[in-house]
Amino acid sequence: DSGVTQTPKHLITATGQRVTLRCSPRSGDLSVYWYQQSLDQGLQFLIQYYNGEERAKGNILERFSAQQFPDLHSELNLSSLELGDSALYFCASSPHGGGRAPRTDTQYFGPGTRLTVL
């Protein structure tokens, strides 16, 4: 158990719908990261939040958005869902991850949310 929690574990929805994935970081970690794992794209970085602010953006679609709340939990919102959005969505957290992150900053992953779009 990494200490990172994600809900829900599984999500089945239809095309065109909107879902919200939730992540709680390890105690004391300031950064939250979202990754997407799919068969064709592998593991891809989506977005990073550090202490409530967006820190870095990767291959995140415009239909997707995220935020980090004052208690440091994060939500990933996926809208206008398409079949191709079916994937495992992982959240990770690390103690730092800011602009001058110590080189020893390490990310720990949650159990993931499996999204199936029908």
Question: Quick one: 80 or 106, whose CB is closer to another protein?
Answer: 106
Decide if residue 42 touches another protein (CB under 8 A).
Answer: yes
The C-alpha atoms of residue 79 and residue 70 are separated, in whole angstroms, by 23
- For residue 117, CA distances in Å to 21, 31, 79, 81 come to 14, 28, 11, 7
The angle formed by the CA atoms of residues 112, 113 and 114, to the nearest 5 degrees, is 115
- Among 21, 23, 25, 48, interactor with another protein by CB under 8 A: 48
Q: What share of the chain is helix, strand, coil (3-state, %, to 5)?
A: 5, 50, 45
3-state DSSP call for residue 84?
helix
Decide if residue 106 touches another protein (CB under 8 A).
Answer: yes
> Considering the complex, what minimum distance in angstroms separates the CB of residue 73 from another protein?
17
Mark 55-74 with x for binding to another protein (rule: CB under 8 A) and - for no binding: xx-x----------------
Number of shown-chain residues binding another protein (CB under 8 A): 31
Which residues form the interface with another protein (CB under 8 A)? 2, 31, 33, 35, 42-45, 48, 50, 55-56, 58, 90, 92, 94, 96-99, 101, 103-112
